[in-house]
Structure 1
Amino acid sequence: MNTIDGLREALIKADYTTDAVLERIGEAGQEGLHRNCTIPARDALRGDDSPLATLIKLFPLNRTVDAGQAKAALPVEALITEGLLEPVGDDQVRATVDLRPYGFEIGSDQASDGRHKLAGDQEIGDANYTRQWDGWVVSDPTPGLDYQTTPTKPDYVLGVSPASTTLAQLTIDAHVGSALDLGTGCGVQSLHLSTHADRITATDVNPRVLKLAHLTAALNQIDVDLRKGSLYEPVEGDKFDLIVSNPPYVMSPPTGERLIYRETEFTGDGLVEEVVSKSADHLNPGGVCQVLGNWAVTDQPWEDRIAGWVPEGCDLWVIERERLDPYAYIEMWLTDAGLVGGPEWEAKYREWLDYFDQLGVRGIGMGWITVTNAGRTTPDITIESWPHEVQQPVGPVIAQRQTDISRAQASDDQLLSANLKLRSDIVQESLGAPGAEDPQYIVLRQHAGLKRALQVDTALGGVLGACDGTLPLGVIMDAVANLLDADPAEQRGDLLPKIRSAIAEGYFESL
């Protein structure tokens, strides 16, 4: 039995799963780890020498443990040889990596074979997400545990983060033949892709990343073609059905000092532009590239800047989820680098401010970018801000987008003859002063996906409310016009653009 097989067997034997770990450390322990404090979890484990407790102490808590207890839980000598554990004195060991359970839920039609049994820790609202996957992710230990802030090493390998789970929830989960995990990091996106992609290629420029991503894949018995190199260089000439990327998008000054997992030598948001603009060269017809990224907000309208990145003939959908001013952005990333309270803090802060001033950066947008090699005569370019609550996962909404755009671009005659059906989760809300006879606003609100809200007047509300799939749109529009004593032709001219927009924004079910 090789080292990885022995390690996997030990993890399974100890029931080292997401649910078991969370239950064992309790709510206080979980909340403490969210704050980077291990004391509540350590208190929960006090006096417990079981293999599960030992694994929790070694990895998520990054504590030294008694060598005898470690040997009862793991193949210690083999792991020391592999460099995953190291001796401390004569009778203790500690982990050089963070190895922790990772779970997520998948749709019942995703699993490609019987290997994928699942166990998740994420809240999924869609009723189709009924199966669970349980595995492990290998990364570097969490920096700053118990508030011991030290500078992060340049080749640090980040573990599962809010950004990586967000990208996983954005990802279209339909079955694909080939997928590219661009800038794989610890390999978490490849785990998700393994549930619905036949072939997975993963790239990264950091050799340590590739080592730990290999361990992640091997532990989970996932076949991943790992390649070293920057961006698309390792896949020159290759095309994919799906590309996902959480690239090192942080816009830091080019000082020569950088953390590989988050920064590059590109100027400003040049890295994200490169990922987006070159994506079509590596997409099959109908293929999709999904990117989590940052972009600079300058005096030029940000929508115009990003629209200039879209590859020729491709659809582009950008959703800005958050915007920070330079001060908040700088503080966030200097804190991430472990510089809080250090002597370099203000000097580095000023260095970043000067850099942003040179580039004319007034703010930083953060959000989701989807490029589709749609092959349309008139590509759809949609760039919007949507900072509001969404229901995760939104991958199904993004997948549906192509169908919705095609339907929205239909001719007037095709649209008027279509039997449209409003989504079942949509609720009408009336807003107005208490006691008023008529509402001031009527809103149709989605209660799933992006949870959009559409303000409607009497005519539009009447037409949409009658779209139950039984009558053509043209018949409904004429009937509403007659009820309102309106000219049918004039009302069609007024309402059709609004209905096209509602179709594109996912207000209707697919028939």
Structure 2
Amino acid sequence: MSDSSRPQPAPTVLPDLPALPGTGQPDVAARLREALLGASFTADGLLELLGAPAYAALARSETVPALRATRGDTPLEALVRLFLLQQPVPYARVADVLPLDACLESGWLARSGGDDVRATVDVRPYGGPGGEDWFIVSDLGCAVGGAGGIGNTAEEVVLGVGGASTTLAGITVRTPVASALDLGTGSGIQALHAAQHATRVTATDLNPRALHITALTLALSGAPAADLRQGSLFEPLEDGETYDLIVSNPPFVISPGARLTYRDGGMGGDDLCRSVVQGAGDRLNEGGYAQFLANWQHVEGEDWQDRVRAWVPRGCDAWIVQREVQDVTQYAELWLRDAGDHRGDTAAYQARYDAWLDEFEARKVKAVGFGWITLRRTAAAEPSITVEEWPHPVEQPLGDTVRAHFERLDYLRGRDDAALLEDRFRLVAEVVQEQIGLPGAEDPEHVVLRQHRGMRRATQVDTVGAGFAGVCDGSLTAGRILDAIAQLMSEDPVVLRDRTPAQIRLLVEQGFLEPTR
């Protein structure tokens, strides 16, 4: 599909990446951690120092507000400039704050001409779910925003914390497990989370630099070391090796090449995401979860739900949620800006843009979807696959919500309609009822149940559904409630019992009702 008359991308000159701190001196990492905590170089301390606007600007790769807020002479301001904003700092200014000579010797810091020192990696404070003070290590320029912000565009660059990282961490089921696998670990944030509830953590990555940085992240955060293995996808695993939890924020970007290891998987279209999902089935223990972020193509003449549903491996329940859809021009622009191409040569930018559109045109792709995929290994004869679109705001963390979704599937799978009507239900807390209609009308046009927690779903119900949900407090069986409603509405109770279980199942599946049995 290439046209020789179009401008062609200029050869990419990749900047060198600096040497990383050594991983063979854990005592230095422990001393550095103690010093950072002592100076309040934490997520809370950073927010207090910078203020909300400057703190939020960092997530947009904007550092000027933070630079302005750190023009004083406190130890914390010096550390923010040194480790987060890549500014040289006078040796004397941090000599009493850090184990300076040990940091220089081990490579955390380097001389920067004259009497200044500089960081060799970015270090970003990160608050754990239980209030833990953690630190995410990444390549210089990548602690705030992405590589296209103030970062480095070398092929093996390792990013820090981004929106995708925190999204995956938030949706992951956090029950105690014996073993967890972080596939494509990057800076190690998922391995760090997993280390809090898994006895054994394995982290893999194609990029050896990412494995090195993961080791630094874990050490500086005071977490146990992980089993680090280099290789693509599941290749580093031994035959028959299985896990209770698999998480992955893979290089899911659908791109016409493999310029950046952290985002470009090097496979055509969405094949990398398909391979990750399909390969997880054989690596899960019974009842184990595999959770991913992914992109998928919307191809002309094909239902995207059918496409992604076909990825689900045998023997697994699945819950697939599409959170966003972008047309191919939006998608190309997003990732061209991620790499900073819009700031370079205009002709080169346009040529790369053309290449993306050529790739999509050749594959008949009209849009790209982004979302979450959760698998659970099951022995059920008929696994359940739920594929839906939910672009609305949710309340993170959602790990408990995900776990509860699959528990409800188990409950419903084991109940026929007769058994369902013999059970008792309770309306879940934080569910409200909304009535929509013209002012003064005798009856509402629509009755909507809305959740204020978790997925924050809204579902329309009929009069029977609204009445049923409204009296569910666990005291009466579903059948008894329907008999009472039938009497009030002068309906045949047998007919009502026959037609209502489907609506009850939907309300249970979506988390509006919970069985009390």
Provide TM-score, normalisation by structure 1: 0.91
Deviations along 1:41-97, whole A, 9 cap, x unmatched? 22222231x322111001211111112223333233333333332222121121121
Q: For 1:30 and 1:304, how far apart are their aligned partners in 2?
A: 41
Alignment correspondent of 1:397: 401
Give the match's secondary structure for 2:343: coil
Q: How does 1:291-306 map to 2 (within 5 A)?
A: 291-299=292-300, 300-306=302-308
Q: How does 1:37-116 map to 2 (within 5 A)?
A: 37-48=62-73, 50-106=74-130
Q: Return 192-201 or 313-322, whichever deviates more.
A: 192-201
Q: How does 1:345-424 map to 2 (within 5 A)?
A: 345-409=349-413, 410-424=415-429
Q: For 2:277 and 2:67, how far apart are their aligned partners in 1?
A: 44
Amino acid at match of 1:437: E
Q: For 1:497 and 1:415, how far apart are their aligned partners in 2?
A: 10
Contact kept? 2:141, 2:152, Cα under 8 Å? no
Cα distance change, pair 142–322 in 1 and its aligned pair in 2 (3 A): same
Contact kept? 2:61, 2:150, Cα under 8 Å? no
Amino acid at match of 1:475: R
1:468 aligns with 2:469: no
Deviations along 1:344-396, whole A, 9 cap, x unmatched? 21000000000011111111100110111121111111100000111111111
1:285 aligns with 2:286: yes
Alignment correspondent of 1:157: 158
Contact kept? 2:317, 2:377, Cα under 8 Å? yes
Q: Return 295-304 or 22-31, whichever deviates more.
A: 22-31
Q: Return 482-491 or 352-361, whichever deviates more.
A: 482-491
Q: For 2:180 and 2:64, how far apart are their aligned partners in 1?
A: 41
Deviations along 1:392-430, whole A, 9 cap, x unmatched? 111111001122112222111210111111102111111
Q: For 2:166 and 2:304, how far apart are their aligned partners in 1?
A: 26
Task: Output the aligned Cα RMSD.
Answer: 1.9
Amino acid at match of 2:352: K
Contact kept? 1:407, 1:503, Cα under 8 Å? no
Shift of 1:476: 1.0
Give the match's secondary structure for 2:296: strand
Amino acid at match of 1:155: E
Give the match's secondary structure for 2:132: strand
Give the match's secondary structure for 2:375: strand
Q: Return 470-479 or 141-150, whichever deviates more.
A: 141-150
Contact kept? 1:179, 1:201, Cα under 8 Å? yes
Give the match's secondary structure for 2:157: coil
Alignment correspondent of 2:447: 442
Shift of 1:454: 1.5
Shift of 1:145: 8.4
Shift of 1:287: 0.6
Q: Return 18-27 or 360-369, whichever deviates more.
A: 18-27
Identity of aligned residues (%): 45
Cα distance change, pair 153–22 in 1 and its aligned pair in 2 (3 A): same
> Which of 217, 225, 228 is 1:226 aligned to?
228
Q: For 2:223 and 2:150, how far apart are their aligned partners in 1?
A: 35
Q: For 2:33 and 2:96, how far apart are their aligned partners in 1?
A: 14
Give the match's secondary structure for 2:128: strand
1:25 aligns with 2:53: no
Shift of 1:148: 7.4
Q: Return 134-143 or 165-174, whichever deviates more.
A: 134-143
Alignment correspondent of 1:174: 175
Q: For 2:486 and 2:153, how far apart are their aligned partners in 1?
A: 65
Unaligned runs of 5+ in 1: 107-131
Q: For 1:298 and 1:429, how far apart are their aligned partners in 2?
A: 38
Q: For 1:479 and 1:341, how far apart are their aligned partners in 2?
A: 68
Contact kept? 1:6, 1:75, Cα under 8 Å? yes
Amino acid at match of 1:174: T
**Paired residue total:** 483
Deviations along 1:192-223, whole A, 9 cap, x unmatched? 11222121111111111011100111122322
Q: For 1:203 and 1:43, how far apart are their aligned partners in 2?
A: 39
Give the match's secondary structure for 2:46: helix
1:138 aligns with 2:143: no
Shift of 1:510: 4.9
Provide TM-score, normalisation by structure 2: 0.90
Give the match's secondary structure for 2:229: strand
Q: For 1:509 and 1:415, how far apart are their aligned partners in 2?
A: 12
Q: For 2:365 and 2:136, how far apart are their aligned partners in 1?
A: 36
1:500 aligns with 2:468: no
Alignment correspondent of 1:238: 241
Q: For 2:56 and 2:150, how far apart are their aligned partners in 1?
A: 19
Give the match's secondary structure for 1:376: coil
Give the match's secondary structure for 1:232: coil
Cα distance change, pair 456–285 in 1 and its aligned pair in 2 (3 A): same
Contact kept? 1:149, 1:339, Cα under 8 Å? no
Q: For 1:290 and 1:148, how far apart are their aligned partners in 2?
A: 28
Q: For 2:251 and 2:149, how far apart are their aligned partners in 1?
A: 25
Contact kept? 2:179, 2:245, Cα under 8 Å? yes
Shift of 1:139: 0.7
Unaligned runs of 5+ in 2: 1-24
Q: For 2:127 and 2:285, how far apart are their aligned partners in 1?
A: 30
Amino acid at match of 1:368: W
